[in-house]
Chain A
Amino acid sequence: MSATAAPRLVEQLRAGLDAPICLTWELTYACNLACVHCLSSSGRRDPGELSTAECKRVVDELREMQVFYVNIGGGEPTVRRDFWELVDYATEHAVGVKFSTNGSRITPSVAARLAGSDYVDVQVSLDGATREINDAIRGVGSYDTALSALERLAEAGFAGAKVSVVVTRHNASQLDELKALADRYGGQLRLTRLRPSGRGADVWDELRPTAEQLRALHAWLLEHANDVLTGDSFFHLSAYGEALPGLNFCGAGRVVCLIDPVGDVYACPFAIHEAFLAGNVRDDGGFTTVWRESELFRRLRRPQDAGACSSCTQFDACGGGCMAAKFFTGLPPEAPDPECVLGRAEPLLAVRGIAELPRPATDHSRRSARARACDESPLADLQPRV
């Protein structure tokens, strides 16, 4: 096969593709919850959010670029009045949709509608197998809301809903229970990494899993490699020695990116900061030009300086870890991941100045937003009809 062998896959991906494989698209900063670790510091709608027509133009571009699917999130995306119109528009144009929701708008009729579509996938966020552990992160009532949504989806015949869990110090011991919970609803467990992004920066130190928990998580993920999803979230744990399933590299600006509610394009969903801002879909040339020509993305696609990590025996396994996690914990890009499994970031974390940590580009948190009841709903465009 030598005459037709293509360049090595991961090298090609690191150098960037002409179009993302998939991307995250946060449709609104509005949310009826106020999760303490929210990546996008959501709460209030931004008056500059993309209009329906602008969103459809983005979908047109994604179709043209052959982006297979978008991960829609927010905020709580279903509170947008045109949410279903946009979902239909995307799927009719061969752009698949996976959306994340807290479940508050998954009524029986919505569940039935979702069960009827092959092109829409649902992720219900849940951060604990028990009410107490979940609600401490996501707010009072959010556990019952999520389970009720899963119940409705299962009843409607929607197979394989994802139960999406951010692994924290408090739920890291509940992995078996979380998997059993997902199984109970005919769903699939999806675990992702707690990032120090958005409001997550404020709680990262107290919520991040301990070193022992990370080691146990790595073993658990290897054991459940075939039936638990991670979105390649824990590639930094591959440095324990055995690689986790997936590509195990940072795809930010190379094969993935984020479009935020006002159309800003960032390198990844965990990097809402000017340092990772590539452009805006409203710019001349739209998303396509931002993706292909922005200075930031071009830079990310060139070989990166791995600093001290380049001499580490595990560098090929973890690639130095997560760019955004380093940035928001005050570590330079060439430093080890703050959760370096060899403990090489700990001395750096111990001396960093908390007061000087970078702050997210935008903060749409409602005032005094912190794990409060989800029945408070000051959403600007909330529809009374559910």
Chain B
Amino acid sequence: MVAFDLERPWTLAPQVALRRERFGALAYHFGTRRLTFLKTWTLVAVVDELSEHPSARAACLAAGVTDAELPAYERALAGLAEKGLIAESSSQ
């Protein structure tokens, strides 16, 4: 179980590939061999932004997530963290 902290920097995990689709994106983890659907374009944009920002919160805001939507995206990112699709980055 990975604890997700919105205030920490996160990034797409190294063994994960994203494929953009009309519905959002497919994410595949080559280590766990699990396929996950990112079902909104905003979530895809958030994941894209993650590595560019000092915190997941900042990445959400940069991708256009409003304060009201933030809790939903926090839950979505926590789900991705639990599946190992995103990882805390140490570089920032």
Contacts and interface: CB of A to CB of B under 8 A. Distances in A.
Interface of A: 1, 4-9, 12-13, 17, 19, 21-22, 66, 68-69, 94, 96, 98, 118-119, 121
Interface string B20-42: 01111010101101010101111
B7 to A, nearest CB: 22
A4 B40 contact: yes
B17 interface: yes
Given A4-B42, A66-B17, A118-B15, A9 B30 contact: no
Contact of A69 (B24, B28, B64): B28
B26 A5 contact: no
B75 interface: no
Nearest to A11: B23
B40 A98 contact: no
Contacts of A17: 21
Contacts, number: 52
Contact of A6 (B22, B33, B69): B22
A7 B21 CA distance: 11
B30 A1 contact: no
A214 to B, nearest CB: 26
A6 B23 contact: yes
Interface string B46-81: 000000000000000000100001001000000000
Contacts of A13: 23
Given A1-B72, A17-B21, A118-B30, A6 B35 contact: no
Nearest to A19: B19
Interface of B: 15, 17, 19, 21-24, 26, 28, 30-31, 33, 35, 37, 39-42, 64, 69, 72
Given A6-B41, A119-B30, A66 B24 contact: no
Which 3 residue pairs of A and B lie closest in terms of their CB atoms, listed nearest first?
A: A68-B28, A4-B42, A12-B23
B20 to A, nearest CB: 9
Given A9-B23, A68-B35, 6 more contacts: A1-B42, A6-B23, A6-B39, A12-B22, A68-B28, A69-B30
B69 A1 contact: yes
Contact of A5 (B22, B33, B40): B40
A9 B33 contact: no
A22 B24 CA distance: 17
Contacts of A6: 22-24, 39-41
B26 to A, nearest CB: 6
Chain B CB within 10 A, most for which of A1, A69, A96, A121:
A1
B47 to A, nearest CB: 13
Contact of B37 (A9, A22, A68, A94): A9
Nearest to A12: B23
Contact of B33 (A21, A66, A69): A69
Nearest to A68: B28
Given A69-B33, A96-B30, A4 B17 contact: no
B62 to A, nearest CB: 14
B26 A21 contact: yes
B44 to A, nearest CB: 9
Nearest to A5: B40
Contacts of B22: 6-7, 12
7 contacts: A1-B72, A6-B23, A6-B24, A9-B24, A12-B21, A21-B26, A94-B17
Nearest to B45: A4
